Structure 1
Amino acid sequence: MRPRATMRVMHPDLFEGASAVKVSQKKEWLEILTDIESRNRFSIDFDGRDGVLLASEESGGWKRFLLGSMRPYTLLIQTREKKPVLRMHAPFRWIHREITVMDVNGKALGTVRKRFTIPHTRYDVFDAHGRTLFEIARGFVKQWTFTIRRDGHEVAVITKRWSGLGREMFTDSDRFQLQFPGIADPTERKVLLGALFLIDFAHFEKGGD
């Protein structure tokens, strides 16, 4: 008699039960072929379960065309059944780019803000009351690695994952992974997901730095 396969039960709050989150950008062929920027869409995977959540950008077409990666935008995070989970909003900024993560009722959970530093790239992560939670630093050699520290100790990391030669050369269809072994608070994990999206828009979109 064959043993019955066991299904891993996910915690009701995905951000509390997961050990890592993977985010993959979804590109339309029309955008790839014409190079016309469309609204971003992402699949969010938890511990090997693909597409558990979906993220979609809300922004005006003229803003995407004129302002590029600096455009203001809102990201709606929802389940496949269209149940809202989070909202994230990034205002227009020349410098000090930022994103605020909110729950489904619009209550702020925290903000991520890019610090103006040369030559290294730094981000500060704040809670809903403006208190500093983490510092994020981009690797000087490993440009696709963003280390997250609390009080000088590494607690999490965001990495851009290789998408294959064709995708990397001809598209900006990005894949990222957020690992947070040193962070247990689900709210802090949600804010760091916002950091992942801000990093993608700021550094890996067309026109990003």
Structure 2
Amino acid sequence: MNPLLNEKLFLIKEKVGMFKASNSYDIFNPESNKHLMTSTEPDLGTFTKIFRFTKYKRHTPFNVLVTTTEGKPIVNIKRGVAFFRSDIEVFDEKGQLIGHFNQKFWSFGGKFEIVDKQQKPVCTLEGKWTGWDFKFNKDGKELASVSKKWAGIGKEFFTSADNYVLSINEIVPQDSVERQLIFAAVMVIDMVLKE
């Protein structure tokens, strides 16, 4: 696992674009403002690009690759076409499957069961329908949280760019699959629940 994922705080900034089919993000340490990682959708197909500009955008497949600023892979998040719910696969820097996000039906704020590659529960990710707060919980303990960080009314009004802050609790072990899956969840929240 890349040591960059052992940070406790991440600022994920969606790259600004008026008419863009793919999603891309820059990831920073919000305390030092150091640019840590980049996230892109490198190989977007023609039909996917077309459907991204329709009301069916939420149903399109995605392949989000998170890399260091030098281009070294860190995490890869993939989903096929989704109709009623999303099942997402997460891969490590070597392309090995490390876990899944299984979306739950009938949750008002959005809910995912996060499991490892053997389908053993890692934690749940659940949002509030009244706001933009998401919590990662396991056995009654909060492992991490994601909240929306506003970049200013002008930027938010004229673009679809969003900013998110991920805070990982110190009880989450460093260099763990759990930490990789929690980190990957930020892109999942934006692509599946908030588009």
TM range (shorter): 0.7 to 0.9
- Map 1:56-135; keep pairs closer than 5 Å: 56-58=40-42, 59-66=44-51, 67-135=56-124
> Which structure has the higher relative contact order (CA within 8 Å, separation 6+)?
2
Tell me: CA distance 1:95–1:194, structure 2 relative to 1, closer, same or farther (3 Å).
farther
2:188 corresponds in structure 1 to: 198
- 1: CA distance between counterparts of 2:57 and 2:124? 26
Does structure 2 conserve the Cα–Cα contact (< 8 Å) formed by 1:37 and 1:65?
no
Instruction: Determine whether 1:55 maps to 2:44.
Output: no
Quote the residue 1:6 is aligned against: none
Q: Percent identity?
A: 22
Q: Which has the larger radius of gyration?
A: 1
Q: Report 1:5-44 matches (<5 A).
A: 13-16=3-6, 18-28=7-17, 32=18, 36-44=19-27
Cα contact 2:172–2:179 (8 A) shared by 1: yes
Distance of aligned partners of 1:113 and 1:50 in 2 relative to their CA distance in 1, 3 Å threshold: farther
Could you tell me how far apart the structure 2 residues matched to 1:204 and 1:38 are? Answer: 15
| One-letter identity of the residue aligned with 1:37 | K
TM-score by length of 2: 0.86
How many angstroms apart in 1 are the aligned matches of 2:32 and 2:128? 26
CA distance in 2, matches of 1:61, 1:27: 21
Q: Could you state the TM-score of these two structures normalised by the residue count of structure 1?
A: 0.81
2:153 is aligned with 1:153? no
Confirm or deny that 1:172 pairs with 2:160.
yes
Aligned length: 186
> Structure 2: where are the runs of 5+ without partners?
none
What letter is aligned with 1:203?
L
